[in-house]
Amino acid sequence: SKTPGRDHWSSAMSILVAGCGTPPGQIVGATDKNGYTAVESIYGPENLVSSVYLKLGIDPNTIVYNRVGRPIHLVSDDRPIKELMG
């Protein structure tokens, strides 16, 4: 590969989430018939992080400040994955 990262089948992926009150036995979302592109319940990494923060009692809308005082949001999209929230 001439570029870093995933350059094949990069539009859909799977993760396993367990614990912290997550409802068991769920499949969230769907892909096209080739498994290439997400077509249903499309979420990104920021949605997973938002879900984890909420499970830990941290408001994903929290703003923190870097060393020079610039405000930074914890996540760029604060929508949790509702199917994981139980």
What are the tokens at 85?
A: 């929230």
Chain CA centroid to CA 23, Å: 16
d(CA 82, CA 76): 17
How confident is the model at residue 40, as a pLDDT? 93
Q: Where are the domains of the chain?
A: 30-84
Query: Do residues 62 and 29 touch, judged by C-beta distance below 8 A?
Result: no
The pTM for the full model equals 0.79
Query: Do residues 12 and 35 touch, judged by C-beta distance below 8 A?
Result: yes
Predicted confidence (pLDDT) at residue 5 exceeds the cutoff of 70: no
User: pLDDT tens for residues 20-42?
Assistant: 888 998 899 999 998 888 999 99
How confident is the model at residue 9, as a pLDDT? 65
User: pLDDT tens for residues 57-84?
Assistant: 999 999 999 999 999 999 999 899 999 9
Residue in the block written with tokens 């870093």? 4
How confident is the model at residue 62, as a pLDDT? 95
Rg (CA), the chain: 16
